[in-house]
Structure 1
């Protein structure tokens, strides 16, 4: 794979190093038809429930169906090392911040936004890894559901559901108390 191709493949897993993740600062970058929620309880219901209103699909099923065509392929095994190497420095730099957030949670001084980030960051990075893998395994255009998921993260929102009309649903983290825009690795401690 040439360097320009690898750069495109690894773009999603480089997102946590930017100021965009969870910023909610780029609403204009959301995919057309995106439903943006400001109610965290509703967002978590859509993300985790198996019993949804009829206009929604089960988010975990949508993601699993998007990943299943390439997950067990040789191409996936080939790119996995590059993806892990690209994201490893983020986790190394994140660990002291995570420990600070854990201490704040124990002291009951953690903000809603800090709790959100600390709870969902691992899942977000795992999803971004799948986007990178799909770009390598399927084509530079990736997989449509995963590319919509990436566009939501790239806009600074959190993907949390899928409508039956094939539009993604996201949560706007800017409504959370303590919301902070900036690179998570520069999080104020």
Structure 2
């Protein structure tokens, strides 16, 4: 299946959007929210969790394993990497994007907020990896409405980050806006 570049690259390009991990003003997608960034980090990265949770890395590996084994996986990674390189090529656009992101975060009370910056520093690589797997799924299979990866993307588009999963597969979300 050949998918349009704009469709499969949308999640990766969102990582450059000022709203990426900027938080949200309200509840998102009827998800369970937590307000403690330490708990969010614990659920996202640790193995020793409260009994009602599944280890995030195990959950994410389960929903992406078919993609990793797909014959088009390497091709998808090369295409995504190439498109990201092309999109970053214009230095003026990149500077404007960074300034816009800074101004949005300043308006939200997050610019120059050490607590927020520390949290983003901790989670941004993991969040970008999640977005890359969403782009990979789109490259290989197109947009699969209702898939777990598309649900994660819906959470990201609200400025929040999925950070945990309960045993019943309900996603737990952290809203970085609580850090202001």
Class of the TM-score when normalised by the shorter of the 2 chains: 0.7 to 0.9
Q: Cα RMSD (Å) of the superposition? A: 2.6
* Post-superposition offset of 1:9: 1.3
1:7-30 residue CA offsets vs partner (Å, 9 max, x unmatched): 2211110102222211223645x3
Q: Which residue of 2 aligns with 1:151?
A: 154
Q: Which runs of 5+ in 2 are unaligned?
A: 99-111
Unaligned runs of 5+ in 1: 98-108, 178-189
Matched, 1:25 2:24: yes
Residues 86 and 142 from structure 1, CA distance in 2 versus in 1: closer, same or farther, beyond 3 angstroms?
farther
Are 1:12 and 1:129, in contact at CA under 8 Å, matched by a contact in 2?
yes
1:53 alignment partner in structure 2: 50
- TM-score w.r.t. the length of structure 2 is 0.77
Instruction: Provide the residue aligned with 1:102 in structure 2.
Output: none
CA contact (8 A) 1:13 1:86 kept: no
Q: How many residues align?
A: 161
* Equivalent of residue 168 in structure 1, options 155, 166, 171: 171
Runs of 4+ in 1 over 3 A off after TM superposition: 88-94
Provide Cα deviations, 1:91-146, integer angstroms capped at 9, x if missing partner: 9859xx8xxxxxxxxxxx86111112222222211110000101222342178222
In 1, distance between residues paired with 2:66 and 2:2? Answer: 24
CA–CA distance in structure 1, aligned partners of residues 47 and 16 of structure 2: 33
Task: Tell me if structure 1 keeps the 8 A contact 2:37–2:119.
Answer: no
| Alpha-carbon distance between aligned partners in 2 of 1:18 and 1:167, rounded to the nearest angstrom | 26
